[in-house]
């Protein structure tokens, strides 16, 4: 049993950059609480205004949580510690079950934890999230005291409450990344693309597209002519470098509509290298009329460059 | 005295109301070339012929459609003898049921979607957990809260119902030996294919909107004015413009058949529905998907499955429904959370953060009047189906009558 240093919070839930984060040991989740019947989409981080039907959402920011058996328990605060309650206090409760108002059995869920509980009365409660990461050996917990029928300041000053609420039985670090931020690269890419392309062009087999740093030249031919929305089809991408066809290239495709900040409805990829610098790109589909940008990152002979094909539908 | 003042007031207000449409539409709206192109893309004349379904060898066989129609309306295809496909997909309600969630043997987990024009979609269900019309048709038959039966029961039922057995054998060949479980699966799949052949006939009809587009293309100001009032015209203009509706509701069926998270609130008593992220996992592993041995295509081309988007980006995403005939299909959204079109439009106007995943829609900041105009336009999409009316009622089959007596 050891203590992982000071955490700026009064429990396993903290606010980071406007994001409510629950820390189950080093495993983090985006934590949101709703009282949909009374407050619709209004999002709470921990204290709740009413004894009402409440939805707890924990979106996993760490892949390991998606592999762990995660359970969720809410008890009445019988520790007498109120906002200062931590796992040691909970562990001393002689009959945890009789204090429990809600319990969700451990479930391995790849994406998130969601539970719904109808609070029948106001009062002080303690939420306990347990993640069993590796069989029975590794158990991580987040313990977060909260109040239902909270009438105090909406901006409760967390920073005055320095508490350690996370129980550690196992310390390990891992370089897993935030899954939920995947796709951010695409959005960033789409945002800068228009800078490189003034004027509007349309993809056709006559147009030669230069890669951003001039390494590659690309022409594309569609199996669907003309291209219409909502039909899956393939493209043939012809790649040259200094006029010579490029073989053994690795292509990464990302596409979207910059005006609408969204990507493609499918995940296209190269299904076949056809020879003579030609690559078959399967799974092309556009689900909206308007301006599309298809970014093709080309890696061949140690040189990587990206070409952006513009398409107006 | 006070009464007469009131009468005068009423008369003045009435006169003002009567006058306002005329002043409003003194000049019909003029559409830009870009807008006209969008309008044409939405018109029913732009709907291509229904593509063949190579996964279903009887997809366009009229005998299969007749057999499928009988099955569709036959409540004997259920554990209780009380639930048919038409229990929830009611023809008179545009093949929906007016409920938040479907009610079969029990309550199903989602709102009953219309099946009109659905044959065009590569994905079925709100979450796209099936990838063909015929495999979709099978799923409710074995769902414990919908039809609640099982394939053995249904195969046995066909075997012992002479006129069904006859139709089956005409379409699919000699009746197999049911002691082999593979034969039961085959019979079950074939029942789905017959139902799909029927459902492929359910197509939307020409609406006032489609006539209006013709008038726009012909630049016929009088016809335009006759077909659409100024509210409907402005609603349409907002629909294809400022309100961003055609981001998803595009093409002649007003749907891209794709999956989008629009931040709809969870249903009372339930956790938020994950939608597509679970649906795509299911369709990739389900027994009767495109890759299965029950796919009749000589060469199985399963591009949609192969290139399907998955993962967190489709968390909480649901398939865009068609907007044709939506006026009679409230409540809306995947669990019927929004009770009226006005609620739906208000929801999109606000575009609240999603409870799970990310709401793709952005707040519109339209005023109440503009939202009402969009609603007025949406109501112009109501029209009788183009499908022959004989397909919209339970077929007269002696066997069904006999069973009911």
Encode pLDDT of B63-85 as tens digits.
Answer: 999 999 999 999 999 999 999 99
Which of A40, A260, A289 minimises the CB distance to B38? A289
Would an 8 Å CB–CB cutoff place A121 in contact with chain B?
no
Residue of A183 and A224 predicted with greater confidence: A224
Q: Which residues pair with B338 in a beta bridge?
A: B332
CB contact under 8 A, A34 and B353: no
CB contact under 8 A, A263 and B313: yes
Would an 8 Å CB–CB cutoff place A248 in contact with chain B?
no
**Chain B residues whose beta carbon lies within 8 Å of the beta carbon of residue A268:** 307
Of all helices (H) and strands (E), which one includes residue B380?
none
Tokens for B26, please give them.
């003194």
Burial class from Cβ neighbours inside 10 Å (0-12, 13-18, 19+) for residue B223 reads: middle
- Centroid of chain to Cα A178: 6
**Chain A residues whose beta carbon lies within 8 Å of the beta carbon of residue B122:** 232
| Phi, psi dihedrals of residue A20, rounded to the nearest 5° | -85, 120
Q: Which of A230, A234, A258, A291 to mutate to test the interface with B (most CBs of B within 10 A)?
A: A230
Q: Which of A57, A265, A271 to mutate to test the interface with B (most CBs of B within 10 A)?
A: A265
CB contact under 8 A, B315 and A260: no
pLDDT confidence bin for B283, thresholds 50/70/90: very high
d(Cα B286, Cα B279) in Å, to the nearest integer?
10
- Alpha-carbon distance A283 to nearest alpha carbon in chain B (angstroms): 5
Q: Which of B241, B317, B355 to mutate to test the interface with A (most CBs of A within 10 A)?
A: B355
Q: Which residues pair with A273 in a beta bridge?
A: A279
pLDDT confidence bin for A288, thresholds 50/70/90: confident
- Alpha-carbon distance A182 to nearest alpha carbon in chain B (angstroms): 8
Q: What is the DSSP letter of A275?
A: E
Q: Which of B312, B320, B353, B363 to mutate to test the interface with A (most CBs of A within 10 A)?
A: B312
pLDDT at B314: 94
Q: Which residues pair with B289 in a beta bridge?
A: none
Which of B247, B303, B313 minimises the CB distance to A288? B247
- Alpha-carbon distance A84 to nearest alpha carbon in chain B (angstroms): 29
Greatest distance between any 2 Cα atoms in chain A: 78
pLDDT at B27: 60
Q: What is the DSSP letter of B49?
A: P
Q: What is the DSSP letter of A2?
A: B
Nearest Cα to Cα of residue B80 among B147, B138, B139: B147
**Chain B residues whose beta carbon lies within 8 Å of the beta carbon of residue A112:** 315, 356
| Phi, psi dihedrals of residue A149, rounded to the nearest 5° | 85, 35
Would an 8 Å CB–CB cutoff place A114 in contact with chain B?
yes
- Alpha-carbon distance B116 to nearest alpha carbon in chain A (angstroms): 18
pLDDT at B335 over 90: yes
Name the pTM for this structure. 0.83
pLDDT at B8 over 60: no
pLDDT at A185 over 70: no
Predicted confidence (pLDDT) per residue in B181-230, tens digit:
999 999 999 999 999 999 999 999 999 999 999 999 999 999 999 999 99
**Chain A residues whose beta carbon lies within 8 Å of the beta carbon of residue B353:** 41, 43
d(Cα B303, Cα B132) in Å, to the nearest integer?
13
List the single range of A287-291, B137-141, B386-390 with lowest mean pLDDT: A287-291
Would an 8 Å CB–CB cutoff place A174 in contact with chain B?
no
d(Cα B56, Cα B70) in Å, to the nearest integer?
18
Q: Which of B119, B257, B272 to mutate to test the interface with A (most CBs of A within 10 A)?
A: B272
Nearest Cα to Cα of residue B94 among B385, B365, B338, B314: B385
**Chain A residues whose beta carbon lies within 8 Å of the beta carbon of residue B250:** 229-230, 287-289
CB contact under 8 A, B256 and A179: no
Give yes or no for a contact between B175 and B137, defined as CB atoms under 8 angstroms apart: no
Would an 8 Å CB–CB cutoff place A120 in contact with chain B?
no
pLDDT confidence bin for B28, thresholds 50/70/90: low
Burial class from Cβ neighbours inside 10 Å (0-12, 13-18, 19+) for residue B77 reads: buried
B268, closest residue in chain A (CA to CA):
A37
Give the A:B interface size as CB pairs under 8 Å: 100
CB contact under 8 A, A111 and B277: yes
Average pLDDT, whole number, for chain A? Answer: 80
Nearest Cα to Cα of residue B292 among B388, B163, B188: B188
- Alpha-carbon distance B133 to nearest alpha carbon in chain A (angstroms): 17
Q: For residues A116-137, give the mean pLDDT.
A: 90
Q: Which residues pair with A6 in a beta bridge?
A: none
pLDDT confidence bin for B371, thresholds 50/70/90: very high
Average pLDDT, whole number, for chain B? Answer: 92
Nearest Cα to Cα of residue B239 among B230, B229, B227, B249: B249
- Alpha-carbon distance B287 to nearest alpha carbon in chain A (angstroms): 22
Burial class from Cβ neighbours inside 10 Å (0-12, 13-18, 19+) for residue B124 reads: buried
**Chain A residues whose beta carbon lies within 8 Å of the beta carbon of residue B303:** 232, 282-283
| β-sheet with A262-263: strand ranges across | A262-263, A250-257, A291-300, A303-312
CB contact under 8 A, B268 and A57: no
pLDDT confidence bin for A158, thresholds 50/70/90: very low
Would an 8 Å CB–CB cutoff place A187 in contact with chain B?
no
d(Cα A171, Cα A1) in Å, to the nearest integer?
10
- CA distance readout (Å), A239 to A220, A256, B211: 9, 21, 47
Predicted confidence (pLDDT) per residue in A23-58, tens digit:
888 888 999 999 999 999 999 998 999 999 999 999
Q: Which of A18, A36, A291 to mutate to test the interface with B (most CBs of B within 10 A)?
A: A36
pLDDT confidence bin for A165, thresholds 50/70/90: very low
Which of B309, B311, B356 minimises the CB distance to A59? B356
Nearest Cα to Cα of residue B297 among B134, B95, B188: B134
Nearest Cα to Cα of residue A222 among A212, A210, A207: A207
CB contact under 8 A, B315 and A55: no
State how beta strands A217-222 and A278-284 pair: unpaired
Of all helices (H) and strands (E), which one includes residue A241?
strand A233-241
**Residue with the two structure tokens 């719904």:** A116
pLDDT at A153 over 80: no
Range among A150-154, B168-172, B305-309 with highest mean pLDDT value: B168-172
Which of A53, A285, A289 minimises the CB distance to B250? A289
List the single range of A232-246, A248-262, B37-51 with lowest mean pLDDT: A248-262
List the single range of A149-163, A266-280, B276-290 with lowest mean pLDDT: A149-163
pLDDT at B392 over 70: yes
**Chain B residues whose beta carbon lies within 8 Å of the beta carbon of residue A263:** 313
Percent of chain B topping pLDDT 70 = 91
**Chain B residues whose beta carbon lies within 8 Å of the beta carbon of residue A230:** 250-251, 256-257
CB contact under 8 A, B307 and A34: no
CB contact under 8 A, B352 and A40: yes
Tokens for A108, please give them.
């391995």
Residues 6 or more apart whose Cβ sits within 8 Å of residue B387: B201, B202, B203, B205
pLDDT at A196: 36
Tokens for A60, please give them.
């996993």
pLDDT at A184: 42
Helix, strand, coil percent values for chain A (each to nearest 5): 15, 45, 40
DSSP H helices, chain A, are 36-39, 63-67, 87-91, 96-99, 184-196
Residues 6 or more apart whose Cβ sits within 8 Å of residue B65: B194, B197, B198, B200, B201, B391
């Amino acid at each position: 049993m050891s203590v992982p240093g000071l955490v700026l919070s009064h429990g396993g839930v903290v606010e980071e950059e406007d994001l409510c984060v629950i820390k189950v040991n080093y495993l983090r989740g985006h934590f949101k609480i709703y009282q949909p019947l009374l407050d619709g989409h209004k999002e709470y981080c921990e204290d709740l205004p009413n004894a009402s039907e409440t939805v707890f959402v924990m979106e996993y920011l760490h892949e390991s949580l998606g592999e762990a058996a995660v359970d969720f328990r809410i008890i009445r605060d019988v520790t007498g510690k109120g906002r200062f309650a931590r796992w040691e206090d909970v562990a001393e409760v002689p009959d945890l079950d009789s204090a429990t108002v809600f319990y969700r059995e451990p479930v391995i869920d790849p994406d998130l934890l969601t539970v719904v509980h109808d609070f029948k009365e106001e009062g002080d409660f303690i939420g306990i999230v347990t993640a069993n990461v590796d069989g029975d050996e590794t158990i991580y917990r987040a313990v977060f005291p909260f109040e239902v029928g909270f009438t105090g300041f909406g901006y409760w000053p967390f920073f005055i409450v320095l508490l350690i609420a996370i129980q550690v039985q196992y310390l390990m670090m891992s370089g897993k990344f935030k899954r939920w931020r995947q796709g951010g690269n695409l959005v960033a890419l789409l945002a800068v693309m228009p800078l490189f392309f003034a004027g509007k062009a349309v993809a056709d087999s006559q147009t030669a597209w230069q890669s951003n740093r001039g390494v590659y030249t690309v022409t594309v031919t569609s199996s669907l002519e003309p291209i219409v929305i909502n039909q899956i089809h393939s493209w043939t991408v012809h790649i040259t470098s200094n006029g010579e066809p490029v073989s053994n290239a690795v292509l990464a495709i990302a596409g979207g509509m910059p005006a609408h900040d969204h990507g493609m409805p499918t995940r296209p990829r190269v299904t076949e290298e056809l020879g003579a610098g030609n690559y078959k790109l399967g799974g092309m589909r556009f689900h909206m009329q308007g301006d599309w940008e298809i970014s093709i990152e080309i890696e061949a002979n140690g040189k990587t460059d990206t070409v952006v094909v513009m398409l107006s539908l | 005295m006070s009464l007469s003042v009131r009468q005068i007031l009423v008369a003045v207000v009435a006169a003002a109301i009567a006058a306002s449409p005329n002043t409003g539409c003194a000049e019909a709206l003029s559409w830009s070339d870009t807008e006209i192109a969008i309008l044409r893309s939405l018109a029913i004349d732009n709907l291509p012929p229904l593509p063949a379904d190579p996964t279903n060898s009887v997809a366009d066989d009229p005998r299969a459609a007749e057999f499928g129609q009988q099955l569709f309306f036959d409540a004997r295809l259920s554990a209780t003898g009380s639930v048919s496909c038409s229990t929830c997909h009611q023809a008179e309600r545009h093949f929906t049921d007016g409920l938040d969630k479907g009610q079969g043997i029990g309550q199903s987990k989602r709102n009953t979607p219309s099946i009109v024009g659905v044959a065009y979609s590569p994905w079925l269900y709100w979450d796209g957990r099936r990838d063909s019309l015929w495999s979709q048709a099978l799923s409710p038959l074995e769902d414990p809260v919908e039809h609640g039966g099982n394939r053995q029961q249904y195969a046995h039922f066909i075997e012992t119902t002479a006129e069904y057995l006859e139709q089956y054998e005409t379409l699919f060949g000699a009746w197999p030996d049911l002691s082999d479980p593979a034969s039961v699966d085959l019979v079950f799949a074939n029942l789905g294919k017959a139902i799909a052949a029927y459902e492929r006939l359910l197509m939307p009809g020409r609406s006032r909107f489609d006539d209006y587009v013709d008038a726009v293309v012909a630049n016929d100001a009088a016809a335009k004015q006759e077909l659409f009032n100024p509210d409907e015209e402005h609603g349409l203009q907002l629909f294809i413009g400022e309100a961003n509706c055609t981001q998803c509701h595009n093409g002649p069926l007003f749907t891209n058949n794709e999956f989008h998270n629009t931040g709809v609130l969870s249903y009372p008593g339930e956790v938020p529905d994950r939608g597509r992220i679970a649906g795509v996992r299911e369709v990739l592993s389900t027994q009767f998907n495109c890759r299965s041995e029950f796919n009749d295509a000589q060469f199985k081309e399963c591009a949609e499955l192969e290139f399907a988007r998955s993962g967190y980006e489709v968390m909480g995403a649901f398939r865009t429904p068609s907007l044709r005939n939506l006026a009679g299909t409230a409540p809306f959204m995947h669990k019927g959370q929004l009770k009226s079109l006005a609620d739906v439009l208000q929801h999109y106007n606000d575009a609240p953060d999603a409870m799970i995943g990310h709401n793709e829609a952005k707040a519109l900041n339209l005023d109440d009047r503009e939202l009402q105009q969009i609603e007025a336009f949406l109501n112009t999409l109501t029209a009788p189906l183009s499908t022959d009316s004989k397909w919209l009622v339970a077929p007269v089959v002696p066997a069904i009558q006999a069973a009911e007596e």
